[in-house]
Amino acid sequence: MIAAGLPAWFTPACDEVRAAFAADRLAHGLLIHEDPGAGGLELARWITQLVNCRTPAAAPCGECQDCRWIAADQHPDVAMLKPEGDSSQIVIGAVRDLAAELSLTAHGRGYKVAIVMPADAMNHFAANALLKTLEEPPPRTLLLLVSSSPSRLLPTLRSRCSKLRLAAPSRDAAAEFLESARGAGPWREALDATGAGPFTLLDADPAALAQLRGETLDTLREIGSGNVQPPAVAERWARGDLATRLACLESWVTDRILENGAIRDVTHLSGSVAQPNICRLFEFSDAIRDMRKLSHTSINKTMAVEALLWRWARQ
């Protein structure tokens, strides 16, 4: 989709890869450590274009057949490995198929490339199988591992890869990018709602996210001032888009912590919750994070939400 013309926050990473490739010292394995939603997959596609472009002087040109095939995920020498179906894991069979594919001669004149995303979705057996390919890479092959949690990767796999960092852009840069990609909308509020980078919002409805954030934070204010009791909202939150509500709460609390406990922005929260102390913010932040982890399990969500909100209600 977006490949040749990447936004400015990609520049340091792109420059690093371009210099390594020009000096013929590009590693066989690259680990792209992206902040969530910063665009790790887009960077992987850009690197794939760089090494396969038919116009080396202008690579990646974005216009040759190879560049266009890569942008459309249709290049015969590029494989994408990701969790299939309902599974959250990449399994050994998929990695073995990939290794067999990489050992074949390329259809074109360029590199055979495998993009693994998220690389931390590989289970232990899959990661070990990929390690073999990294240790004895077929010539002119490139493995691109994309992860926002590289510490969850097998250490031996990590150490075999050259690291490439892709940090999230500022909120202004992210909003500007989304505006040019999707048109005008409350992108800043939508970004605040999820706390993630812009690439997670490319298909999102910014108005709906902004509204959910406003309503979630209004409710938090009411709970903090004692006007609303947690049981009155817990069931509704548990049934609705709980993951987004928790993301809204976490990004709000994180911002307050970054302000070092001094609440200056009282657009959404005012009155008795406007001055929570820093310890209370940290405790609430930990509780939200725990809840986000648990919300993927079979816990009783209504009870868990209620318990979480009581922590905010108790002063």
Least Cβ distance, residue 49 to Zn ion (angstroms): 6
Contact 38, 45 (CB under 8 A): no
How is 162-177 classified by DSSP, letter by letter? EEEEEPPPPHHHHHHH
71 binds Zn ion (CB under 5 A): no
Per the structure block, which two tokens stand in for 248? 């809204």
247 counts as binding Zn ion under rule CB under 5 A? no
Q: Which stretch binds Zn ion (CB under 5 A): 45-53, 72-80, 94-102, 175-183?
A: 45-53
Nearer to Zn ion, 53 or 287 (CB): 53
| Residue 151, number of CB atoms within 10 A of its CB | 9
Per-residue mark of binding to Zn ion, 170-209 (x: CB under 5 A)? ----------------------------------------
The reply on whether position 64 binds Zn ion by CB under 5 A is yes
Q: Is 61 one of the binding residues for Zn ion (CB under 5 A)? A: yes
Q: Which is nearer to Zn ion, 2 or 168 (CB)?
A: 2
Helix (H) or strand (E) holding 135: helix 124-135
Candidates 40-48, 63-71, 98-106, 252-260 — which segment interacts with Zn ion by CB under 5 A? Answer: 63-71
311, amino acid identity: R
Closer CB to Zn ion, residue 53 or residue 248?
53
Stretch that binds Zn ion, among 30-38, 58-66, 182-190, 290-298 (CB under 5 A): 58-66
Q: Write down the least CB distance from residue 42 to Zn ion, Å.
A: 16
Residue 53 in the binding site for Zn ion (CB under 5 A) = yes
Sequence-distant (≥ 6) Cβ neighbours of residue 273 within 8 angstroms? 220, 221, 224, 225, 312
Burial 209-247 (b: 16+ CB within 10 A, else e): bbebbbebbebbbbbbbeebebeebbeebbeeebebbbb
Residue 67 binds Zn ion (CB under 5 A): yes
Whole-angstrom distance, CA of residue 253 vs CA of residue 247? 10
Residue type, position 64, single letter: C
**Contact residues for Zn ion, defined by CB under 5 A:** 53, 61, 64, 67
